[in-house]
Amino acid sequence: MSKIIALAGKGGVGKTTVSALITRYFTKHHKEPLLAIDADPNSNLGETLGLKIEKTVGDIREDFMKDPQGVPSGMDKIVYLEMLMNQVLVEHQAFDLLVMGRQEGQGCYCMVNNILNRFADELEKNYTYLLVDNEAGMEHLSRRTSGRVDMLLLVTDYALRGLRAVGRINDMLGDLKLSVGHKGLIVNRAPETLSPAFLEEAERIGVPIFCTIPDDQNLLDFDMERRSLLDLPDDSPAVLAIQGLMEKVKKNI
């Protein structure tokens, strides 16, 4: 059974960057197969990894809903949709990437979503680890048919607003059909010393701080140069922070 690592937090705190850094860690330190899932409608994970995304799962769903009868003659709908899903899976030598893309429009998506979810569940069996870069809320994770997350990483920047958003996400977990094994807090763009007010709020939320990621000029430079974060140097401060994070994660899943 795959180990599922998911990231959540409010928009703009750096979840996608953290997801890319974790993916880089797996490419350098693990030989087990990894499936990265970009579940954020903004769909930026592929770009940060230097991958070109031609089509997403959302595109498949919308195209099918526009023309449900457009299945090639003699082909079953389920087989057809699974074939399209295989086509949107982006393969890299060290991992694969599945981009969920746009959210649902109007209409009933039950049938097509059931087929896509069934395919995704079967696909997961081929990987040792799943990494889910989630949307700002928890909708995608709550819709997962397995309803299981082994490690939920709640990401905030160094601001009480972001930290309180993490607190609200943590509070809503009990209302979702979601089984979370372990939780950890990541503080992105953090100073060397966290303020007492920030630490007090983190303690109130009750999720341990697993990692602080300092400002890293390399991240800005790579973004401006449109370079893949997979190519970050080993001594980059953000890379070193993620290495420490993953040592804690592996101990807990």
Question: For the domain bounded by 3-252, which CATH number is listed?
Answer: 3.40.50.300
| Reported confidence tier of residue 76, pLDDT bands at 50, 70, 90 | confident
Helices 110-124 and 57-66, axial angle in degrees (round to 10): 150
pLDDT surpassing 60 at residue 89? yes
Question: Contacts by 66-71 with C-beta closer than 8 Å and gap 24+?
Answer: none
Provide mean pLDDT across the span 69-76. Answer: 84
Among all chains, which residue has been given the structure tokens 């998911």? 6
Instruction: Report pLDDT digits (tens) over 146-162.
Output: 578 999 999 999 999 99
Give kind and range of the element (H or E) at residue 172: helix 160-172
Domain boundaries along the sequence of the chain: 3-252
pLDDT surpassing 60 at residue 38? yes
pLDDT surpassing 60 at residue 144? no
Instruction: Report pLDDT digits (tens) over 232-253.
Output: 999 999 999 999 999 999 888 8
Specify the higher pLDDT residue, 113 or 253. Answer: 253
Helices 57-66 and 77-88, axial angle in degrees (round to 10): 150
